[in-house]
Amino acid sequence: MEVSKMEEGQAQIDIWNYVFGFTSMAVVKCAVDLGIPDVLENPMTLSDLSSALGCSPSALYRIMRFLIHRGIFKETTNNRTDQIETIVYAQTPLSRLLMRNGANSMTDVLLLECSPVMLAPWHRLSARALAKGTSSFQAANGEELWRYATENPAHSKLIDDAMACMARMTVPAILDNHQEIFEGITSLVDVGGGNGTALSILVKSCPWIRGINFDLPHVVSVCPHYDGVEHVGGNMFECVPKADAAFLMARLYSLRPIKICLLFQVLHDWNDEECVDILKKCKEAIPTNTGKVIIVEAVVGEEEADKYKHVHLYLDMIMMAHTDTGKERTRKEWEYVLNGAGFNRYTIKHFQGHQSVIEAYL
């Protein structure tokens, strides 16, 4: 196949994006570590910013030049007459997502994915592809992800903080679009609820619900107090507190009796056969005529017009790097596991960014 000079030229440009692809993540993390997004809540000149951060002006200038080129920050004209510098740095909608205490901050997710523990498996991704029997994460870190987190409190906190970050964005979006899910429920147990952030948001918005945040003892022992939420420590494979419904942020356990089973980013951790088994357990736990399973997950768009397709594909590679069998699924792949578990009717509703709500009925 003949390749034009224009195509060859573009390939020469594009290849550098892959050679240095890690750089954007590293420099954004540098900005977060320095506190640039928070300090720049008001526009500042280079000299003012370097003074506020205690940074070398020349190094900071180069960092900001890179981040401006990537669209993280922007330059505007300085209108102050008492300053010589004519250019000031300012926030963008993107940089506001990197503010540590911002309303929709993604900082904790970034810090988790930038951690050495989570980066190391990427160097072992081929081990997963070659089916050597060891996951990329285990090959890099010696143990599978959740056991590693249990034995390393600092990494466990990174995961909990990242999950809380996602909860602060996702749970309000679920409530805004599908609050009817929680109507009629008087008690709800969040299995694997981490520090209780998701449940605290739910209970605050749905005060008729009594919340039970259930996780391993070492996790709940350091949870903050939330009105309407009881923290309970235990092992979900041995016993789960009884409630009207289960809300699952990271793991699954079936309850009897429950009206609704809500799976929040659970099934992408498992292969198709395991998902079918999990969904069958859910089917056994819900009423035959009125029960349903609500799954909050990504649905990989097969059409090129899907503007979040790149996010779905990133997430799928993350599942390959960090789990033994996990993956993101297309609509057809979701239909396969749902039908395999005996759910013959379902709806898929997009509600926020890259995520969807799948309602499966008996």
Residues belonging to the active site: 268
| Two tokens, residue 85 | 């510098």
User: Whose structure tokens read 């000149």?
Assistant: 45
Rounded to whole angstroms, the Cα distance separating 160 from 324 reads 20
Rounded to whole angstroms, the Cα distance separating 202 from 313 reads 29
Instruction: Note the helical H segments in 248-287.
Output: 272-285
Instruction: Note the helical H segments in 179-248.
Output: 197-205, 217-220
Rounded to whole angstroms, the Cα distance separating 27 from 69 reads 12
Burial bucket for residue 186 (CB in 10 Å: 0-12, 13-18, 19+): exposed
- Note the maximum CA span of the chain: 73
Are the C-beta atoms of 265 and 190 separated by less than 8 Å? no
b/e map 232-255, b = 16+ CB within 10 Å: beeebeeebbebbbbbbbbbbbbb
Rounded to whole angstroms, the Cα distance separating 149 from 159 reads 8
Rounded to whole angstroms, the Cα distance separating 260 from 269 reads 21
Terminal C-alpha separation, the chain: 52
Numbers of helices and strands, H then E, in the chain: 17, 11
Give the alpha-carbon dihedral of 234, 294, 356, 271, to 10 degrees.
60
Q: Reply yes or no: is the peptide bond before residue 241 cis, omega within 30 of 0.
A: no
